[in-house]
Amino acid sequence: MLRALIRTPAAYFSYGRRFVHSSTAPLIKGTGLYGFDHLKTPKGFQRMVDDAIERSNELVNHIAGMPSAPEIVKAMDEISDTVCTVIDSAELCRHTHPDREFVEEASKASLRLNEYLHYLNSNPSLYHAIIRAEKNHHMLTEEAARAVHHLRIDLEKGGIHLSPGADPSLTARISSSFCLFNENILSDPGHVDIFPASRIPKKLHHLTKPIYRASSLASKRSTGLDSNLKERGLRVMTEPNTLCSILQLTSDAEVRRLAYIRGNSAPRANLVVLDKLLSARNEFSEKQGLVRLEPLLSDRYARKTVTNTISIILLYDHYVQIMGYKSYAEFALKENMASSPEVVLSFLRDMSEMVRPKAEEEFKKILDFKRAETGQSVKDLEPWDEPYFTRMMKSSAHNLDFSVVASYFSLPQCIEGLKVLAGSLFGVKFREIPLGPGESWHPDVLKLSLHHPDEGDLGYLYLDLKSRKDKHPICAHFAIKGGRKISDTEYQLPIVALVCNFSGSTSHSVHLQHSDVETLFHEFGHALHSLLSRTDYQHFSGTRVVLDFAETPSNLFEYYAWDYRVLRTFAKHYSTGDPIPENLVKSLQGAKNMFAATELQRQVFYALIDQALHASQPSSVEDTISIVADLKREHTSGKHVEGTHWHTRFSHLVTYGAGYYSYLYAKCFAATIWKKMFHQDPLSLAAGNALRSKFLQHGGAKDPTIILNDLVGNRVVRNQSGGIIPDITSLGEEMKLFD
């Protein structure tokens, strides 16, 4: 979802031309992975990269000859298309392919192309051509002028306009630090040993490992005694999912406390590694000249897997100082709707104020409940109490049995739900189509064409939704090809994939939790943005929009997972076929609303951390910890626990550096769009068509503010200090924050 620095994709190959935009388009006769001829074998990635580089070099030479402004933009976009296609395919492959050889070759392909991107990003003739094209903007269409402007900014973000003087050893050193941090996170999720085993509820034992210790006299009387006088206990690994289950379901407060503290202070080894990085930063800063980091930063894989936040922040800061920005936040936000850290902070403070009274009310309710449950007049609600008591309160108030809910959401029914949405809103059909030989990467994969009765095929969607061993545990939307205009009569159709990890042995036995349905619809919103966009340039295709606008369609489609009028059309009981009862949906909504303000407040707090850490250089690990603690005290009702530093697991700090607030922007935009366009009739074809023609179709080719104004009127945003802030009242009213 991150808009890449000149992610100039490039392979000309010409397979793009196969996806002709016409109702008579032939079915793709894929003869390799994703329909790419080269990918009949893993080694094909090498040829794919060779071809991409060869074609891109041809285009670079063409551009260096200074053709006309429109030619420059077209050739730049083709480079981008060529390189992106390979990088994006490799990205999907690395996350999903069961064959190690494919994964390894895909990784090599990414590495090589990232190096090549480094060359492109620092190529002066491309930069000069772009400056020239921008000067001649009168010769360009509006979209081309916008493209050339963005390309220049992207190159400048890479530091191209500064004096050259790269330090090649720097990226290597940073890269190895990334790996070390990552290894630490994987190898040390933290653990606590609990004796006796009975302190942990039986239903959670499968998440733990049995351990034994010599029994003391006192514990010999306990039931956890075996014949050798060894006491049986359980080891709990405190990785986030297990930690969450322990905190929600364990009645023993001391067990919760131990697990919370351990889980929120792992991995410890990284603190030392961080310290070393901290001093390394000073060393780097002393070096003169331009240091180029963007190949690493633009590698989504590296950014995603390296969750050591502070190291990245240090890198960002160092990089940005060289660029001449005051902070990384300033650098990252410049082209976003918000445009500056001041605007983001003002928005986040407004949100914090708006949500505070209701969140405090909720906090007090939880504390009162704890007092009633424990029969003690406790003063405080501890951080390890909140998940436990809120879960109890939700289930007692709404009598929710989550396995009953899941029985209405078998995977095939949920896919049916996606088809219902596309059909009702846009008059299009998702049709399952056969996969060509070698096109698929696993028997579970489905391929759908998005077909319009008048316009023909609009794009292709792969679904790989079930979990399996060795599959990356993510839910995400991957682009394989972006849409772009090839000529006046040809359009390269977008190809995307949705990847999730829903568990079950066969697709009929996969039953989604309701939160999974929400996730699926979220990712589907991204996919529709890609599939329905019709931009001239792939640079603006679908989700390639500024970061603080990118999550809007996905947040909008989350609403569909909560609306009974929608759910009844596809959520059918797996054995009886009965539609989901309205009361059950009401209970789900009720449980969601019970602590919605607390959850929103948490998101505001996260976004504030992200801003604070990118706004100035923390001087030490301790400094970072205290910044987070102070923000928690200031903006939430919860306590900071000394010694914990959970933010070292906050991977969005890495992937969305200074951009986490984008989720909140999207939440506000989506609330206004839902209220004004879909609240009355969520499946309205007229509203859906307006969403398509005024919003989704434009991808990043149009200013987001203009898109939003066209769609729902000008009160959806307001201008402040040169930036754009979403209207927060639709969200506030929906959440009843003003009552």
Write the DSSP string, 579-647. BPPHHHHHHHHHHHHHTHHHHHHHHHHHHHHHHHHHHS--SSHHHHHHHHHHHHHHH-SSPPPTT--GG
Catalytic residues: 523
In this structure, what token pair is assigned to residue 298?
């633009």
User: How many CB atoms neighbour CB 131 within 10 A?
Assistant: 14
Q: What's the token pair of residue 503?
A: 């568990």
Q: Which is nearer to Zn ion, 477 or 632 (CB)?
A: 477
Give CA–CA dist 49/32, Å, rounded. 15
Shortest distance in whole angstroms from residue 522 CB to Zn ion: 6
Coil, strand or helix: which one is 213? strand
Q: Comparing C-alpha atoms, which of 416, 417, 412, 464 is closest to residue 442? A: 464
Q: Quick one: tokens of 134?
A: 């921008």
| HEC letters along 104-137 | HHHHHHHHHHHHHHHHHHCCHHHHHHHHHHHHCH
Q: One-letter amino acid identity for 721? A: S
Helix count and strand count (H, E) for the chain:
30, 12
Instruction: Classify residue 308 by its DSSP letter.
Output: -
Tokens found for residue 35: 């329909």
Which H/E stretch holds residue 274? helix 269-286
Cβ atoms within 10 Å, residue 509: 12
Q: Which burial class, exposed, middle or buried, applies to 238 when counting CB atoms under 10 A from its CB (0-12, 13-18, 19+)?
A: buried
Per-residue binder mask for Zn ion (CB under 5 A), 423-452, x = binder: ------------------------------
Gap between the Cα atoms of 440 and 267, Å rounded: 38
Residue 718: enclosing H or E segment and its boundaries?
strand 717-720
Question: What's the min distance (Å) between Cβ of 523 and Zn ion?
Answer: 7
Letters for 496-535 (x = contact with Zn ion by CB under 5 A, - = none) are: ----------------------------------------
β-sheet bridge partners, residue 212 = 232
CA angle, corner 262, sides to 256 and 265, nearest 5?
Answer: 135
Q: Is-contact 585 567, C-beta < 8 A? A: yes
C-alpha to C-alpha distance for 589 and 580, rounded to whole angstroms = 14
Kindly report whether the peptide bond that precedes residue 443 is cis, defined as omega within 30 degrees of 0.
no
In degrees and rounded to multiples of 5, residue 432 shows phi and psi of: -70, 130
**508: nearest Cα among 465, 558, 569:** 465
Strands 495-502 and 456-466: parallel
Residue placing its CB nearer to Zn ion in the complex, 134 or 551? 551
Q: Show the binding pattern over residues 74-113: x = contacts Zn ion (CB under 5 A), - = does not.
A: ----------------------------------------
CA 316 to chain centre: 20
Site string for Zn ion, 540-569 (x = CB under 5 A): -----------x--x---------------
Cα gap 50→711, rounded to integer Å: 44
Smallest distance, Å, CB 556 to Zn ion?
Answer: 11
H or E element at residue 88: helix 69-96
Report how many residues bind Zn ion under the rule CB under 5 A: 2
Residue 33's alpha-carbon distances to 38, 196, 375, in angstroms, are 8, 52, 62
Cis-peptide into 581, omega within 30 deg: no
Structure tokens at 474: 């993510």
Residues forming the site for Zn ion (CB under 5 A): 551, 554
